[in-house]
Amino acid sequence: MALSRMASGGYSPEPLFRLPQLSLRNLALLVAATLAIGLLASLLRMSWGHAIDPTQQLRGLEQLATAARLDAALDQSFESARLALDAEPAELPDLVQRIDATRQGLQDSFTRSGVDASVSVPLRNYINAARDKTAATTELKRSLGTFVTAFKAMQQQGDSTLAALQSADDAPLRRPVMALVSAATSYGIQSVPGNGADIDQLLATIDAASSRDHAVLSKLTAAVRTMRSAKDSLQRQLAAFRAMPTASSLQQLRNASLDYSRNEELRRERGRTMLGVYTAALFVAFGALALWLRKSFSDLDRANANLQQANEGLEQGIAERTRDLSEALDNLRMQQAQLIQSEKMASLGQMVAGVAHEINTPLGYAQSNVQTVREVLSGMEEPDAGKRESLDEAGMLLADAEHGMERISELVLTLKDFSRVDRSRTEPFNVNEALESALKICNNQLKGRIDVERDYAELPQVPCAPSELNQVFLNLMTNAAQAIEGPGLLKISTCAVDNRVEVRIRDNGCGMDPDVQAHIFEPFFTTKPIGQGTGLGLSIVFRIIENHQGQIKVQSTPGEGTEFLISLPAVPKRAASPAGSTMEQAGS
């Protein structure tokens, strides 16, 4: 019951996922997932995290170029100032300011884009160099001023000297002075003067020529010499100034910056490649996972379906089993009932045998005595009229007594038939014939009232005691006739089934309820009024059928009728020489 209800309630799906149990496997999966995500994050960071802003980079490069330009311009400014004999380069303050601004900008942009040591070191070098160089401009400016002053003074002195040498005696001096002035001028102008020796020689010439004290001349030579030393000093300073490592450090910074960005780009490139590969791997992994999931889901579905099927099978199996079991139980009950019945009958048989003896003994002498008395009475000669009458009466009474005793002995015989003790002989017999003879005997019970419908099949012979079989059929037919009130139908059919003979005797009489059915084979069970039924009929039938290794079953519905089914084992085919034919032959 409970089972079928559960099954009919349908299949309630188990949750596919339960709360994760921290098994080793789950733990491993968790770690793997964390690692995968971490790797992805680091790869992403690697690809995009240090993004170098190209405009920033361009600005940096521009600033670097500006700085280089400014640096060159600074160098140039002093050169041109020297050539222009300016005491100070006109653009210098502006240049210095711009250089400072550029330096600051470089520092800012590089610091902001977060560079590593490969860039920051050259940057610091450049900044230091640039600061040193701008600082050096002051010194250089002064040297330039000194030179310009000395140069102008030297030119003035030359002009004045020449003017002073207008005299004829001074004529020989005029040429060297002129040569000296021009040599000194070119010395001052040339960036790398090669005429120092000329100047020295001219000076020596002039000094020799003006051995007499020539104040003008000495002034000139002094001016020349001052200019020359100023120029040399300026030249030296300029060389030092130019040699300051701004340009190279700028170049280094540029290279470093470029290298840095190239490396950075490379790194990012590598990161992207790795990310791509990793992504592809992840995709593959996800695909595999998806496939696996799909497969496991379909497995799960299949398993579910199987389970459901198995459930149904189980249910069916249980139903079948239950049916089998209840059938077996029924069989067992029936067998038990039959066993009880058999035992009852066996003990009854023993009792009957004893009772038969106990009855037969008194019956024996009683009957014998009655016979004797009758003989005695009939032997009496010529009684007178009065005695005659009473003798007749006595004869009648004795006949009644005899009749009663006959009845008793018949009853005992019936009882004995019913018991096992006096089993009678068996011979092959045709059941259809037995049915016919039984019908003949109970004809007066059926006659006119009950229609008999026969349905006989061709039958193998049944080993039996014909008189017993007759008794069986007679009892069943009598019962049927008694069950039918008024007109009715008695249907008798036979058939052969697997070496057995089956007889059905069916009536449309009153039928029986299950309570009655349960007891009908018990001896002395009857529903009929006293005098009409002894209740032995069916118990004798049962005993006889049992003795013949047969079976008897009853099916009955109250108000509709009853069918008795008798099944008897048939004779194995080979031994079938009918005794009846021999007797007929003999009797003729």
Partner 1 sequence: MNIANPISKPRVLFVDDEPRVLVALKVIFRDHYDVQTATSGAAAIEALQAQTFDVVVSDQRMPGMTGIEVLRSAKQLQPKSMRILLTGYSDLNATVDAINEGEVFRFVTKPWSNDKLRATLASAVEAATTDVPPEAAAPIEALPDAQLREGSQSAVGVLVLDPDAETRTALKNTLGRERPVYCAASLDEGLGLLASHRIGVIVAELMLEGEDLSLALGALRLHDPSLVAIVLTSQADAQRAITLINQSQVYRLLRKPVSDPLLRGTVNLASQRFTTLSKHPELVRRNETEMPAEPAARTASIGMLARIKRLLLR
Ligand X SMILES: Nc1ncnc2c1ncn2[C@@H]1O[C@H](COP(=O)(O)OP(=O)(O)OP(=O)(O)O)[C@@H](O)[C@H]1O
Which residues of the chain form contacts with partner 1 (CB under 8 A)? 353-354, 356-369, 371-372, 375, 405, 409, 421-428, 463, 571, 575-579, 582-583, 585-587
- From residue 187, alpha-carbon distances to 70, 81, 182, 199, 236 in Å are 28, 16, 8, 9, 14
The span of 36-44, 313-321, 345-353, 472-480 binding ligand X (CB under 6 A) equals 472-480
Q: Which one of Mg ion, ligand X, partner 1, none is in contact with 262 (Cβ closer than 5 to 8 A by kind)? A: none
- From residue 524, alpha-carbon distances to 348, 420, 530, 535 in Å are 11, 17, 11, 4
CA dihedral sign, ordered 227, 233, 237, 239: positive
- Chosen residue from 109, 146, 475, 508 binding ligand X by CB under 6 A: 475
Q: Which one of partner 1, Mg ion, ligand X, none is in contact with 427 (Cβ closer than 5 to 8 A by kind)? A: partner 1
Instruction: Give the whole-angstrom CA distance, residue 252 versus residue 441.
Output: 145
- Please name the residues in contact with 443: beta carbons below 8 A apart, sequence gap of 6 or more: none
How many other C-beta atoms are found inside a 10 Å radius of the C-beta of residue 21?
A: 7
- Does 70 interact with ligand X (rule: CB under 6 A)? no
Kindly tell me which of 118 and 424 has the beta carbon lying closer to partner 1.
424
- Chosen residue from 516, 547, 551, 569 binding ligand X by CB under 6 A: 516
Q: Which one of ligand X, partner 1, Mg ion, none is in contact with 369 (Cβ closer than 5 to 8 A by kind)? A: partner 1
Give the chain's end-to-end CA distance (angstroms, integer): 72
Q: Hunting for tokens 């380069």 — which residue is that?
A: 89
- Chosen residue from 538, 568, 570, 571 binding ligand X by CB under 6 A: 538
Kindly tell me which of 157 and 508 has the beta carbon lying closer to ligand X.
508
The span of 13-21, 61-69, 352-360, 523-531 binding ligand X (CB under 6 A) equals 523-531
Q: Residue 490 forms beta bridges with which residues?
A: 452, 507
- Chosen residue from 479, 494, 556, 567 binding Mg ion by CB under 5 A: 479
- Chosen residue from 176, 488, 509, 550 binding ligand X by CB under 6 A: 509
From the CB of 445, what's the least distance to Mg ion, in Å? 11
From the CB of 452, what's the least distance to ligand X, in Å? 14
Q: Residue 561 forms beta bridges with which residues?
A: 557
State which residue has the least CB distance to ligand X.
537
Q: Which one of Mg ion, ligand X, partner 1, none is in contact with 527 (Cβ closer than 5 to 8 A by kind)? A: ligand X
- Does 122 interact with Mg ion (rule: CB under 5 A)? no
Q: Is 495 helix (H, G, I), strand (E, B) or coil?
A: strand
From the CB of 549, what's the least distance to ligand X, in Å? 21
The span of 132-140, 273-281, 435-443, 529-537 binding ligand X (CB under 6 A) equals 529-537
The span of 88-96, 345-353, 493-501, 519-527 binding ligand X (CB under 6 A) equals 519-527
Measure the CA dihedral 181/186/191/193, to 10°: -80
Nearest to 535 by CA among 544, 527, 524: 524
From the CB of 431, what's the least distance to partner 1, in Å? 15
Residue 510, judged by CB atoms within 10 A of its CB (0-12, 13-18, 19+), counts as middle
Instruction: Give the whole-angstrom CA distance, residue 522 versus residue 514.
Output: 14
Kindly tell me which of 212 and 425 has the beta carbon lying closer to partner 1.
425
- From residue 158, alpha-carbon distances to 174, 184, 511 in Å are 10, 10, 174
Question: For residue 509, what are its two tokens?
Answer: 């009489």
Within 13 Å and on the Cβ side, how many CA atoms surround 448?
A: 1
From the CB of 506, what's the least distance to ligand X, in Å? 9
Kindly tell me which of 25 and 574 has the beta carbon lying closer to partner 1.
574
The span of 392-400, 408-416, 533-541, 560-568 binding Mg ion (CB under 5 A) equals 533-541
- Cβ(367)–Cβ(405) under 8 Å? yes
- Cβ(558)–Cβ(512) under 8 Å? yes
DSSP symbols for 198-212? HHHHHHHHHHHHTTT
The span of 71-79, 142-150, 397-405, 476-484 binding ligand X (CB under 6 A) equals 476-484
Site for ligand X in 539-578 (CB under 6 A): 539, 562
- Does 537 interact with ligand X (rule: CB under 6 A)? yes
Kindly tell me which of 148 and 538 has the beta carbon lying closer to ligand X.
538
Conformational region of residue 524, where left means phi above 0, alpha means psi within -120 to 50, and beta covers everything else: left
Q: Which one of partner 1, ligand X, Mg ion, none is in contact with 516 (Cβ closer than 5 to 8 A by kind)? A: ligand X
- Chosen residue from 170, 417, 468, 507 binding ligand X by CB under 6 A: 507
From the CB of 473, what's the least distance to partner 1, in Å? 19
**Secondary structure in 3-state letters for 325-343:** HHHHHHHHHHHHHHHHHHH
- Does 520 interact with ligand X (rule: CB under 6 A)? yes
Site size for Mg ion, by CB under 5 A? 2
- Does 471 interact with ligand X (rule: CB under 6 A)? no
- Does 537 interact with Mg ion (rule: CB under 5 A)? yes
* Residue type present at position 516: V
- Chosen residue from 479, 494, 508, 567 binding ligand X by CB under 6 A: 479
Kindly tell me which of 115 and 541 has the beta carbon lying closer to Mg ion.
541
Q: Which one of partner 1, Mg ion, ligand X, none is in contact with 583 (Cβ closer than 5 to 8 A by kind)? A: partner 1
Alpha carbon 252 to chain centroid distance? 65
Do strands 462-464 and 500-507 pair parallel, antiparallel, or not at all (unpaired)? unpaired
From the CB of 537, what's the least distance to Mg ion, in Å? 3
Q: Which one of Mg ion, partner 1, ligand X, none is in contact with 414 (Cβ closer than 5 to 8 A by kind)? A: none
Length of the chain, please?
588
Instruction: Give the whole-angstrom CA distance, residue 85 versus residue 561.
Output: 157
- Chosen residue from 533, 547, 555, 565 binding ligand X by CB under 6 A: 533
Instruction: Give the whole-angstrom CA distance, residue 401 versus residue 410.
Output: 14
Kindly tell me which of 112 and 440 has the beta carbon lying closer to partner 1.
440
From the CB of 510, what's the least distance to ligand X, in Å? 5
- From residue 396, alpha-carbon distances to 202, 368, 402 in Å are 216, 16, 10
- Does 534 interact with ligand X (rule: CB under 6 A)? yes
Nearest to 544 by CA among 363, 416, 402: 416
- Cβ(246)–Cβ(166) under 8 Å? no
Q: Hunting for tokens 């000395």 — which residue is that?
A: 150
How many other C-beta atoms are found inside a 10 Å radius of the C-beta of residue 377?
A: 14
Footprint of ligand X (CB under 6 A): 475, 479-480, 483, 507, 509-512, 516, 520, 525-528, 533-539, 562
Footprint of Mg ion (CB under 5 A): 479, 537
